[in-house]
Structure 1
Amino acid sequence: MSVTDLREYGADFTANPYPYYAKLRASGPVHEILTPEGIPAWLIVGYDEARAALADQRFIKDPSVVMDFVPLEFEVIGPNLLGIDPPDHTRLRKLVAGEFTGRRVEALRPRIQQLTDELLDAMAPAGRADLVDSFAFPLPITVICELLGVPAADRDSFRAWSNELVAPTGAMTEREAVEGFGGYLDELIEDKRAAGPQDDLLSALIATRAEDGDRLSLPELRALAYLLLIAGHETTVNLIASTVRLLLTHPDQLAALRADPGLVDAAIEEGLRFDGPVEAATYRFSSEDVEIAGTVIPAGSVVLVGLAAGARDAARFPDPDRFDVHRDPRGHLAFGHGIHYCLGAPLARLEGKIAIRSLLERFPRLELDPDGGPLEWLPGLLIRGTRRLPVIW
């Protein structure tokens, strides 16, 4: 099997990878590739194979088990839930899940609606905006920071660090971003320890104990806060912006949603399937030779599960390249599958539902700004979306 160098596809692949995934899938569900960063890896592009791989414990998350490699963020911050395996993962997820409950998420509904309305009030007089900067970013970053208990004054720093880690701009090095983030979190955790019990998630995680007395260590708290802050807003920013972009570029679907606002849940799920915010799951590593559909992925390989690629597999979703808010997209993999399924999925869905319904109600003539210039797509295979989304109303 020849190696597919994704770098050769250039900017066209970044803007619209789906035809390339379809071409790969036509010749098999698994391919040896070079990522846009030049890293050798195996990419899974079939839906059934992707779903199975996400739950296959032969694909592990801790790279140090199979290779002499420790990611910079693990070195500085510590391994988070996306970088560890059972039994460590089982223990940490159990401690965290007890605080990340449906009841806590639902209790955020009034505050999410209030923040949404305030952002729309601020946008309204201008008649035009970059939807990412004015709405899709500030809503989830405020929600996750308030949930965790991060001071409002520190949120611009988070945005700068987070941008460099998921879609680098070159404003600082990866090490500067990771070390800045890590040092800040240490101070924040120590401040919260000293302050005692408060009504925020980070304080609750500091205080939480399992029935056997187990509790989170400082490195575990730091790594968990790091993951929740990045994953808790970067993905939701693009869930909101991408769903709006899809609706504005598919006027028949936007008209259907306006005619029946009850379709907002379906529109969000179809947006997650059609062009979700995570293009490929974070790295997995084969702990042994693994055969998929006749192709052997050797032990010690980097493995990328193509969530976006699987979502356009016609064997699972008929007419997959059609955006259709009446579709039943259940089973999409936008939030993953298996033990690493996204803890924050209920919160992301709630934010998306409130944001998109409120935006469309407030601005019935919302459309893409014809003078907004070309869209700039985020680089890499992790986060899918655009840096800006100029709109007018």
Structure 2
Amino acid sequence: MSETTDPATPTANPARAPQPRAPQPGDRATGLGSWPGTDRREAARTVVGELPGMPYVPELPARGVGADMVGRGAAMLVDLAVEVWPSGYRVARRPGSDHRRAVELLARDVDALDEALGEAGATPAAVKVQVVGPWTLAAGVELRSGHRVLTDRGAVAEFAASLAEGLRAHVAELARRTGAPVVVQLDEPTLPAVLAGSLPTPSGYGTVGAVPGAEARALLADAITAAREAGAASVAVHCCHPTPPLALLGAAGADAVAVDLGALGGAEAPAEVLDALGELWEAGTELWLGIVPSTDPATPPALHDLARPALDLADRLGFDRARLADRAVVTPACGLAGADPGWARRATSTTVELARAFADPPASW
């Protein structure tokens, strides 16, 4: 699972001066993080080339240990370490090879993005980094007893504080090296299960107790505040679960909420989902709308067909469609790790096409 060290990889690019760039309609598009394959440089070049407005640090989970969402989050921890057991990530007494690998992979991925931006010769409107949220991290790492960190509220708080400290350093480095504002995306795919108390115990015969909504909201709000204090220009919370806790995400103070619009049901979603989306939009929270398939469709859909769920959503909620151009960001439905590389590239470029079309709709729309 190890990756050969590349001494030619740059560690910084402080000489690149920021190039002012006027906002463009296609800037309101990005990806959600994961990417197919194992070539970090090719992934970074593609992301920078296809997303000139908001490129991101790609995740390449196909590389194995340390390259997945939880492993990358663990790589940011300060004064805490993890190791890999057959059951998954577990707290370690000191950093070992598993933890060092995760840290090295993250550093190389930042190098690759920095290098790709330097080759492109321009500073984007923003760069994005996705980070596992505190609840998904606590659910995805075990204590040395084998139970989830989630089962120990003291450990949850310790992990959240450690992650926040690491995030501060990470955001500062990205801002310094890219010369662009940094957008932080907190990934919380496990939050619905945390709230529902449906995560299994090590034996498989029981479940971990549900976390009260107020407690979940407070810790997530702390994470959002920490990201802002780290210098993040804005903070989005991403949950592609079919039933994300939209009201809680909004109440936690996120600047944006990222969802898989198809999984929610689009304009035909249940009334309570539509109400929650409408309240978020009305309150000024951006909606990151996952409307581009994240895996290869049998037949590539037409641009209008991809746009239709978002257009119908705006109509159903009673908002002018112009809100899609200034209070929404277009994304794939979820990460692209499961896609063919060709579709990953096409899906990414399609998000930009949609963002431009929302800003300047064709007459047929």
The structure with the greater share of residues assigned to helix is 1
Larger Rg: 1
Instruction: Give me the TM-score of the superposition, normalised by structure 2.
Output: 0.25
Greater relative CO (CA pairs within 8 A, separation 6+): 1
